[in-house]
Structure 1
Amino acid sequence: MNIIGSGGSPVTPDVWNEREMRDALARRDVSEIYRQLRRHGVSQRQIAASTGQSQSEVSEILKGRQVMAYDVLARIADGLGIPRGYMGLAYDGATAMRVAKATNAPDAEEDESVKRRKFLSHAAAVTMGAAVFGTETSSWLPANAQTPAPARIGMTDVQQIHAATKALRDLDYRYGGGTCRDAVVAQLSWAQQLLESSAAEPVRKQLFVALADMHSLAGWTSFDVGLLDPARGHFGKALEFAKQAEDDGLVASVLYRMGRVYLHYEEPNEALKLFQLGQIAAQDSGSALTVAVLCANEAWAYGMLNKPDQVQKMVGRTKDEFARARADEAPDWVRFFTENDLHGMIGSAHDALSVFDPKKHASIAVAETIKCNEAYGSDMARTHVFGLSLQATNHIRAGDLQEGVKVGRRALEHGERVKSQRVADRLKPLELEAGKHRMNSDVRDLFEAVRRFRRV
């Protein structure tokens, strides 16, 4: 048994290279990591002492409690002597500051529900017009970068930020946040230093817009690779800059994206509050397309809450707003919402309802997602995977196992090309539905393939 390791770790370094342990580390499955350590003779007390947790916390994790907060994962890795790369962990300005705080003050760790409430409070204050600069720094806000800034900037400098954001956003749509997230954070570290430069007032206002949009992209790509706390930090800053720029459409966009984060983590009530806040800003912006985006996501949230009447109402309003929208007049951050996405969002709402009533809603979800999946190209690869997995799931729910298997295999094939933690997460319903029909050999093969994909 390897009980005492080197460098303060309770095990020797070779333990981290065992196959089962490496698999658990790659999945960030802390429960399995701790179980593997127990098999090596490491006690709960030793784990607790190394990670700064209480023995009761370690016991809960061993029983299956998930650990998702980046700061906690980083503290566990450092305390146990796990190479950070094995868990896909890396510092950026925000996480470095927060990990340092966690190391010095273990009691500062906050429950996820507390963080959600704090962000909602912050979002409400910013959206409704509270002062945003010079106030007390919240725990989720990223630290300022240290790159030197030019003495004076003009509109060309701001346009360069917009161009960089657009190029990086295109990479995110095509290949996933894993291909560009670090580049976005690095670019943002430089761009924020322009706040220290002198500039004419119109230039400074556009700089706020550019920084808000880049922070929003940093939040989105962080979310896409599974970094929830950095995502929340960037979205918080994006809100502040958007409000300072008096850009209601961008405020609405940021709130929509943070709401999507909470939908992904199955917190529809929290998501709905952010979508409703975003709706206020969207109405003030005068952009019908922005309003349509918020309505569509409210429909999805209501679907997860099993409220079909509200879903129908919001879908109807989404269609009305989309019909009168002028895409050529819409800002860049909402132009992604085309007719394909309209069908995809309606399909998502019915997919959520089909969890409760598959006979009524699964076939509708299939019909809507077929419309969008037939039109997606390589420029929207990740969204295409989402649509295919949703379509396959509802084929199986509707009893069409053969088509579900066919479409599910296409989803996996496309998913291999996208670097996104969300792809694996969004395949979970397909795995669950396929798992109900393992007596069918083709469905069983799909189930095993999806399970392998998600584990890797």
Structure 2
Amino acid sequence: MNTIGSQGSPVTGDVWEQQDMRDALAARDISSVYRLLRRHGVSQRQIAALTGQSQSEVSEILKGRQVMAYDVLARIADGLNVPRGYMGLAYDEATAVRVAANTDDPQAEEEESVKRRRFLAHAATVTMGAAVLGADSGSWVSHPIQTPAPGRIGMTDVRQIEAATRALRALDYQYGGGSCRDAVVAQLSWGQQMLGAQGTDVVKERLYVALADLHNLAGWTSFDTGLVDSARTHFGRALELARQGNNDALVANVLYRMGRVYLHQNEPDDALKLFQLGQIAAQESGSELAVAVLCANEAWAYAKMGRDDQALKLLGRTRDEFARADVPNAPGWAKFFDQTDLSAMIGTVHTELAQTVDVKYTRFAIPALTKAIDAYGEDMARSRSFNLTSLSTNHLLEGDIDHGAKVGIQAVDLAEDLKSVRTKDRMRPLQKEAERRRNNPDARDLAERIAKFTAA
């Protein structure tokens, strides 16, 4: 990759050490950074190519437009091969919340709806079999800093990536994406370079799948920490690599996870499109478990739309497909969907229906959620918190306010130990239900506790 400071570049690496450049980087004054690069002979076109921006964006920044979004700052740092620490971008929750909070600025970022359409088009291209590895994937593509990798790889090297992914995924489940996202991205920084190493066809195909799953995890942990653009970047790359590795089941899993991002943003129409696209790959894979996962999430999308007929129909199909699935021998990225998670999804869909269609659905949601909560171990703390939140909502809807508030406090207590933005977002509907019942002291206490937690 042609980076500034590399052989053949018009700017040497010591440019980043000059005081005026270090001051601009520390202040995240990208306008000044770009102007300093121009003085060193770097053209707007070169800056655009390295940072993944359009020339018009670079021109606007040179004219003074501020760059505030964490993802864009990180992409610029990586593209220019600037150590992230020079810009104060070593990941932590405070940085993510403080900087990423500005991503709604229409002058700084594309409209989210445009990004969703771009990703959907890219996903459709990949899923339907087009060769896109290495192609321009759109504005979400980043340029990770690379570290040395072997010139020739064998199956042992690939197994190392797979083992790291399993370990990091376990941390994500137990402590939240913020606990391991940087480690996942660091692993990718090294692993990505293996694509250029020598190896047998069998090794390379398995490498594609291993790296696809690592990008898949990077996307999921980014989503969990509120970094949607980063999630889109990694999911887009995961799709390409999974297709290159001829693994339809993983393609389906990536599409399910990106669909969940849009579901979380209350965009069920766009989420449903990705779930349905994923269903195509799931069917091609022959994996009943992959089909079950997609059906369950399609049901959730329909429930958010208030379509109880379709939601219940798809839940029925989820149960049927799951009953035929070989869960013990499923790949790592799909093993989460066991009997416990099936109960959780049944409870989640009925909770949504209780809010969008009829409160009667609480009678189906409560036993399913209770079953899931009782079965989750400490290694699935985030999932347990989500289900406690939904269970509390159902009890409030039913009028059992005292018990609902008690369960809600349990959800907050558990979530406070997790590094997950999603746990806060998922509590906001519960907070609204508690606020509606403020005349009850337990509901009022719950509402205030959630407000304090989500604002922290």
Determine if the TM-score, normalized by the shorter chain, exceeds 0.5: yes
Letter in 2 for 1:114: V
Cα distance in 1 between the residues matched to 2:405 and 2:65: 43
- AA aligned to 2:252 is A
Q: 1:269 to 1:69 in 2, by over 3 A?
A: farther
Q: Is 1:234 equivalent to 2:234 in the alignment?
A: yes
2:407 aligns with 407
Does the Cα contact within 8 Å between 1:149 and 1:196 map onto a contact in 2?
Answer: no
Length, aligned pairs only: 379
Q: Cα distance, 1:144 vs. partner?
A: 4.4
Deviation at 1:416, TM superposition (A): 1.4
> Which residue pairs with 1:365 in the alignment?
365
State the 1:312 CA deviation: 1.0
Contact 1:145 1:192 in 2 (8 A): no
- 2: CA distance between counterparts of 1:52 and 1:162? 40
Bigger drift between 238-247 and 370-379 goes to 370-379
3-state SS of 2:95 partner = coil
The match for 1:172 is 172
| 8 Å contact from structure 2 (residues 353, 359) kept in 1 | no
In the alignment, the residues of structure 2 paired with residue 83 and residue 165 of structure 1 have an alpha-carbon distance, to the nearest angstrom, of: 27
- The 1-side partners of 2:219 and 2:92 are apart by 23
- Find the counterpart in structure 2 of residue 334 from structure 1: 334
Letter in 1 for 2:161: I
Alpha-carbon spacing, 1:244–1:73, altered in 2? closer, same or farther (3 Å)? closer
Aligned to 2:388: 388
* Cα displacement (A) at 1:394: 1.0
1:285 paired with 2:291, answer no
Cα deviation code 1:75-120 (max 9, x no counterpart): 9xxxxxx977898337xxxx9xxx9xxxxxx978311111000000
Distance in 2 between residues matched to 1:87 and 1:333, nearest whole Å: 25
CA distance in structure 2 between the aligned counterparts of 1:358 and 1:73, rounded to whole angstroms: 45
The separation in 2 between residues aligned to 1:176 and 1:347, in whole angstroms, is 22
CA distance in 2, matches of 1:447, 1:368: 25
- Larger mean Cα displacement after TM superposition, 213-222 or 282-291: 282-291
Q: 1:88 aligns with which of 91, 94, 105?
A: 94
CA contact (8 A) 1:283 1:291 kept: yes
Going from structure 1 to structure 2, the CA distance change for 1:107 and 1:412 (only over 3 Å counts) comes to closer
Alpha-carbon distance between aligned partners in 1 of 2:108 and 2:444, rounded to the nearest angstrom? 46
CA 1:172–1:134 in 2, change beyond 3 Å: closer, same or farther?
A: closer
Structure 1 residues 107, 382: closer, same or farther in 2, change over 3 A? closer
* SS of equivalent to 2:325: coil
Match of 1:451 in 2: 451
**Cα distance in 2 for residues equivalent to 1:72 and 1:190:** 21
Distance 1:414 1:134, change over 3 A: closer
- Which has the higher mean CA deviation after the structures are superposed, 138-147 or 200-209? 138-147
Q: Do the aligned residues in 2 keep the contact of 1:311 with 1:349 (CA within 8 Å)? A: yes
Tell me what 2:319 maps to. 319
Give 3-state SS (helix, strand or coil) of 1:309's partner.
Answer: helix
Partner of 2:139: 139
Deviation sequence 1:195-223 (CA, Å, 0-9, x none): 11100110000000000000000000000
Residue 253 (structure 1) aligns with: 253
Alignment of 1:149-298 (within 5 A): 149-298=149-298
**Residue 361 (structure 1) shift:** 1.6
1:357 CA drift (Å):
3.1
Structure 1 Cα separation of the partners of residues 136 and 341 of structure 2: 39
AA aligned opposite 1:311:
A
How far does residue 245 in structure 1 lie from its aligned partner after superposition?
Answer: 0.3
Deviation per residue, 1:9-48 (Å, 9 max, x gap): xxxxxxxxxxxxxxxxxxxxxxxxxxxxxxxxxxxxxxxx
Q: Which residue of 2 aligns with 1:40?
A: none
Find the aligned partners of 1:136 and 1:146 in 2 and give their Cα distance: 19
Q: What is the TM-score when the length of structure 1 is the normalising length?
A: 0.79
SS of aligned partner of 1:263? helix
Structure 1 residue 72: deviation in Å?
8.5
Q: Deviations over 1:154-195 (max 9, x none)?
A: 000000000000000000000000100000000110000111
Q: Cα deviations across residues 279-330 of structure 1 (Å, max 9, x unaligned)?
A: 0111111111111000000000000010000011100000000111111221
Unaligned runs of 5+ in 1: 1-6, 9-48, 54-66, 76-81, 100-105
Aligned position for 1:109: 109
Shift of 1:412: 1.0
**SS in structure 2 opposite 1:427?**
helix
Q: Secondary structure at the match of 2:356?
A: coil
Aligned partners of 1:324, 1:184: CA distance in 2, in Å?
Answer: 33
Amino acid at match of 1:88: A
Mapped partners of 2:73, 2:203: distance in 1: 40
Number of the residue aligned with 2:72: 71
Kindly provide the amino acid, as one letter, of the partner of residue 171 in structure 1.
L
Q: Which residue pairs with 2:420 in the alignment? A: 420
Q: How far apart are 1:420 and its partner, in Å?
A: 0.2
Contact 2:174 2:381 in 1 (8 A): yes
- Aligned runs of 1:26-37 on 2, under 5 Å? none
Q: Aligned partners of 1:144 and 1:275: how far apart in 2?
A: 28
**CA distance in structure 2 between the partners assigned to 1:133 and 1:287 by the alignment:** 24
| Matched position secondary structure for 2:116 | helix
Equivalences for residues 426-445 of structure 1 within 5 A: 426-445=426-445
Distance 1:68 1:149, change over 3 A: closer
Paired with 1:108 and 1:455, the residues of 2 have a C-alpha distance of 25
Greater shift in the superposed pair: 395-404 or 137-146? 137-146
The answer to which of 330-339 and 112-121 deviates more is 330-339
**Paired letter, 1:308:** D
Distance 1:192 1:135 in 2: 15
What secondary structure, in the 3-state scheme, does the structure 1 residue paired with 2:375 have? coil
Specify the code of the residue in structure 1 equivalent to 2:409. Answer: R
What amino acid does structure 1 have at the position aligned with 2:94?
A: G
Shift of 1:231: 0.5
**Percent sequence identity over aligned pairs:** 54
Does structure 1 conserve the Cα–Cα contact (< 8 Å) formed by 2:305 and 2:356?
no
Partners in 2 of 1:135 and 1:443 — Cα distance?
53
Separation in structure 1 between the aligned mates of residue 137 and residue 171 of structure 2, nearest angstrom: 32
Aligned residues: CA RMSD: 2.5
Question: Which stretches in structure 2 are left out of the alignment for 5+ residues?
Answer: 1-22, 25-62, 77-86
Alpha carbons of structure 1 residues 357 and 243: separation in structure 2 relative to 1, 3 Å: same
Other-structure match for 2:352: 352
Could you tell me which amino acid in structure 2 is paired with residue 71 of structure 1? Answer: V
